[in-house]
Chain A
Amino acid sequence: MTTKTSLLKVILLGDGGVGKSSIMNRYVTNKFDAHLFHTIGVEFLNKDLEVDGHQVTLQIWDTAGQERFRSLRTPFYRGSDCCLLTFSVDDNQSFLNLGNWKKEFIYYADVKEPEKFPFVILGNKLDVTERQVSAEEAQQWCKENGDYPYYETSAKDATNVAVAFQEAVRRVLAMDERTDHLIPTDTVKLHRKPRSAGTCCS
């Protein structure tokens, strides 16, 4: 109870096969398995880390990208603190679908102020040589859709994965600080869940 630990829920969304599960596994267990099966529904792992002096427990939710798993994954969007929209740089369609993923998230997560919600965009599979999406295209999209941070990652080589998650945490913390200033101090803060208090079903 000496240092305050917050539980932050971040969710990975994007087309099937872009590497969401691999990104999560690389970040949490530092392993890469090229033969992962499709994720069915949702999965999640926790990771403790320290960002700018804040102790946080990151709860990373990995989701199924395939359309047929849609009804299984959407109930779990709620309560997310940050959304990592993921595409694969060797698959143009997955890049074109980013807008749909954003819309789906905002709808099912019931985000009150979509323009302020922290999204982070990941272009995965940087290790693949045949790119279909250029870095410029991706950055352009991010700028036009809300000035989101963009990272090119490779779960296979562990490139930029940790950096991207740290950035996600920073965005959330920055959001919170901003709202802290706006809200009178005697209100109860519901947004963040102190880890010690969350017994099991928070």
Chain B
Amino acid sequence: MHGPCTGLFGQCLVPPVDSSFDAAIGFQSRARSGSTSQALLNRASRCSYFFLYDGSKVKGEGDRTREGICYFYPEETPVDKQELLCGQLAGVGRCVSELSSSPVRILRLRRNKYAIRMEGHFFWALGCSADVPIASVCERLDQLIDLFCFYSDSVRQSYQLNSQETLSARWAQYFLHLQPGSSELHRIFSCLRTIDSTNVDPLLLLKAALILQACQRCPLVLAGCILFRGRVVSTQMSPELTMKVMVHESETYAKAQSSSSSLDAAVSSITVFLTTSELQYLQSAPVHKDLSSHSTPHRDAPQKKTRLSRTLSEMASTESDSSDLGPPQSPHKMSFSPCLSESDNSVFSPAPSQSTADPLNPPPQSPEPPFSNGRHSPEAEEEEALDESCYQSFHSNGGGDSQVHHEGGGSAFDERSSLNGGDGDAARDFRVGDSGNEESHDDEDDGAAVGNREGGCGSAQGDQGEDPLPPYGGFENPEESPRIPMMLYLHRVKGLVLALLTDPRFLSDEASMEEVYHSSLASLNGLEAHLGTVPPVPPGAPGAPGPYIFAHFDCIQSTLTTNLSGRPGGAPEHPFVRATSLLHSHFCNTKTLQEAIIRSAGAAVYGTRSVAHETYFQQHGGSLRNSGIPNHQDSAFSLPGKARHRLLKHGVNLL
């Protein structure tokens, strides 16, 4: 495990650290959740470290590193340990980015991998255990920074205006929010937590969508979402924006619980900050999204528009005609689907690989997002085969004969991917440069693996840092592009929340406020009553996991359907979750990959994806015949057929 460093930078810049960090991790996990095996499993998937370091505070020889540490998680880490980690990562990061003229995205140190982001003097790092996909770590860091900017605007300015304690509390809040006790599958896809739609009458989803549409009759209301007990019932916003709004919702929920809810707490509002592209997306009516996405954003755009949407009742339909209801989900889907045609690329790169900018609606002319599939693989895999060797049969676009048996450390089948079976501990990072050059850093050990983002797009940072690095591909640099203040209006009815993003003038416009409040109150009361009577699924209810497990991820709406219980780490499910993680990474990295089967001696998982979906399926029972060589008699090859058949009743059509 702890052999000599092999990576160039690892060797020269990161001397093997003593084991104190591992000790710190152990301490942290015990403190948080007890020392059960469950906690150990959780620990593996959770992020262990997060810090923000301000290099401008540490310039002279005598300046201590701790002066630059704005926030460090876990907060109970001794300061000298904090300094050690911050100093090393920031040093390596800066050095590598100067040498390579491009920003660092990932660093590997001992058993952890760190997603890195550098902007101006600020340096963020988020550390997870090495078996979390790189794409997931990087995305989570982007989400974290994005969340902060959504509620606090510019990081630089926030630190000028607020005390460090205040902002530390915010980082801590966002950090904890992004690693809730949700199931591991949710973490893999970073998807929205939605209400269990199999348990809810679809008419109630329609009701929620209609409430939102009715609110939009007020021209100052841009878009909204309805949440119930921390889960999405209906949303008009992009998944990314919805996720951000949900953070504040959970905060007010905690407050409402503690302060024995009074009536005046029912409505609240705060200022939030949207990027220009987010705002642009919201301001364009759904049907015109394609056209308007190329216009420049206007601050005064809300004045020009009249109505964003019409309620169904406004369409010339008469009452009691069932045809005017339409399919229940349609109002929800409508707002996303027009983007499908906009860019194939955006569709092919599932959400986890790009986060800050709206992946559904990338700003025109911006460079490609750094992790879009095919062009640049953020990593190859952390793949350890399920347990032993792995046989993968890939049916890529090109030909059906591309079944590849892969074994050992070779990389015969695809230059972009690495598969290493046999050795469970080995992990590799591959980078495929923009020009097609491939640079790979093989570090099987403790050294630091360094991945660069797109070649040629960055310049070394000047000492003064006056010119921050160019924005990452499609990402917006929160320090560079100003965000636009908007209001987030919340109306709570017990566990149900109506959240609306509105023009700032909405708050001073009493008539509009009252209209929105009164037009939605009765419906919200009713919806709450309906949803409150739906019996909650007891945690881990399906005692026997049933004959099969599936997970169906909708990349467009960022939602997950699964028959897996919410508890992470359940014994029969664990291989499925790991296989899903692995296959998901493959799908992210290989644009042409459509189907894959991954298997160990004891289990086989089938994965398939289309432009909008990824589906994973595992059949229980029945012995897998695995003779060690590829074999068409192998029962694993019947998985696709079984998946098609079984999943139909869950509304998943794989035909």
Is B533 an interface position by the 8 A CB rule? Answer: yes
**Does A44 lie within 8 Å of B525, measured CB to CB?**
yes
**Does A62 lie within 8 Å of B522, measured CB to CB?**
yes
A contacts with B, residue count (CB < 8 A): 30
**Does B525 lie within 8 Å of A45, measured CB to CB?**
yes
**Does B311 lie within 8 Å of A43, measured CB to CB?**
no
Is B320 an interface position by the 8 A CB rule? Answer: yes
Q: Report which of A31, A41, A44, A76 forms a contact with B518, defined as CB distance below 8 A.
A: A31
Complex alpha-carbon distance, A75 and B204, angstroms? 15
Is A181 an interface position by the 8 A CB rule? Answer: no
Is A1 an interface position by the 8 A CB rule? Answer: no
Q: Report which of B204, B313, B518 forms a contact with A37, defined as CB distance below 8 A.
A: B313
Contact with A along B291-321 (1 / 0, CB 8 A): 0000000000000000000011110000110
Q: Kindly specify which of A64-72, A132-140, A150-158 makes contact with the partner chain.
A: A64-72
Q: A36-B313, A72-B203 are known contacts. Are A41 and B522 too (CB-CB below 8 A)? A: no
What are the residues of chain B within 8 A of A62 when measuring CB–CB?
A: 522, 526
List B509-539 residues whose CB lies under 8 Å from chain A.
Answer: 518-519, 521-523, 525-527, 529-530, 532-533
Is B467 an interface position by the 8 A CB rule? Answer: no
What are the residues of chain B within 8 A of A172 when measuring CB–CB?
A: none
What are the residues of chain A within 8 A of B530 when measuring CB–CB?
A: 41-42, 72
What are the residues of chain B within 8 A of A71 when measuring CB–CB?
A: 201
Is B206 an interface position by the 8 A CB rule? Answer: yes
**Does B320 lie within 8 Å of A66, measured CB to CB?**
yes
Complex alpha-carbon distance, A40 and B203, angstroms? 7
**Does A69 lie within 8 Å of B521, measured CB to CB?**
no
Contact with A along B241-274 (1 / 0, CB 8 A): 0000000000000000000010000000000000
Complex alpha-carbon distance, A100 and B178, angstroms? 53
Across the interface, name the chain A residue whose C-beta is closest to B204: A41
What are the residues of chain B within 8 A of A56 when measuring CB–CB?
A: none
Is B210 an interface position by the 8 A CB rule? Answer: yes
**Does B529 lie within 8 Å of A44, measured CB to CB?**
yes
Q: Report which of B206, B214, B494, B526 forms a contact with A44, defined as CB distance below 8 A.
A: B526
What are the residues of chain A within 8 A of B313 when measuring CB–CB?
A: 35-38
Is A24 an interface position by the 8 A CB rule? Answer: yes
Complex alpha-carbon distance, A31 and B522, angstroms? 13
Complex alpha-carbon distance, A29 and B312, angstroms? 23
Complex alpha-carbon distance, A38 and B523, angstroms? 11
Is B162 an interface position by the 8 A CB rule? Answer: no
List A144-202 residues whose CB lies under 8 Å from chain B.
Answer: 200-201
Across the interface, name the chain A residue whose C-beta is closest to B203: A40
Is B322 an interface position by the 8 A CB rule? Answer: yes
Sorting the interface of chain B by its residue count into under 10, 10 to 19, 20 to 34 or 35 or more gives 20 to 34
**Does A35 lie within 8 Å of B204, measured CB to CB?**
no
Is A25 an interface position by the 8 A CB rule? Answer: yes
Complex alpha-carbon distance, A135 and B461, angstroms? 86
**Does A72 lie within 8 Å of B201, measured CB to CB?**
yes
Q: Report which of A35, A37, A44, A68 forms a contact with B522, defined as CB distance below 8 A.
A: A44
Complex alpha-carbon distance, A62 and B526, angstroms? 9
Complex alpha-carbon distance, A31 and B533, angstroms? 30
What are the residues of chain A within 8 A of B620 when measuring CB–CB?
A: none
What are the residues of chain B within 8 A of A41 when measuring CB–CB?
A: 201, 203-204, 207, 526-527, 530
**Does A76 lie within 8 Å of B322, measured CB to CB?**
no
**Does A45 lie within 8 Å of B522, measured CB to CB?**
yes
Contact with B along A1-19 (1 / 0, CB 8 A): 0000000000000001100
**Does B322 lie within 8 Å of A68, measured CB to CB?**
yes
**Does A37 lie within 8 Å of B210, measured CB to CB?**
yes
**Does B319 lie within 8 Å of A17, measured CB to CB?**
yes
What are the residues of chain B within 8 A of A33 when measuring CB–CB?
A: 519
Contact with B along A102-129 (1 / 0, CB 8 A): 0000000000000000000000000000
Q: A68-B322, A69-B203 are known contacts. Are A40 and B210 too (CB-CB below 8 A)? A: yes
Q: A35-B311, A35-B314 are known contacts. Are A25 and B210 too (CB-CB below 8 A)? A: no
Contact with B along A21-32 (1 / 0, CB 8 A): 100110011010
**Does A42 lie within 8 Å of B312, measured CB to CB?**
no
Across the interface, name the chain A residue whose C-beta is closest to B320: A16
Q: A17-B319, A45-B525, A66-B320 are known contacts. Are A40 and B207 too (CB-CB below 8 A)? A: yes
B170 → chain A closest CB, angstroms: 30
Across the interface, name the chain A residue whose C-beta is closest to B322: A68
Q: A42-B529, A43-B525, A76-B529 are known contacts. Are A29 and B518 too (CB-CB below 8 A)? A: yes
A residues in contact (CB < 8 Å) with B:
16-17, 21, 24-25, 28-29, 31, 33, 35-45, 62, 66, 68-69, 71-72, 75-76, 200-201
> Besides the contacts A25-B522, A45-B521, what 9 more A-B pairs have beta carbons closer than 8 Å?
A36-B313, A37-B210, A39-B526, A41-B203, A41-B207, A42-B529, A45-B525, A62-B522, A72-B530
12 contacts between A and B (CB under 8 A): A33-B519, A36-B313, A41-B203, A41-B207, A41-B530, A42-B529, A43-B525, A43-B526, A44-B525, A62-B522, A75-B533, A201-B532
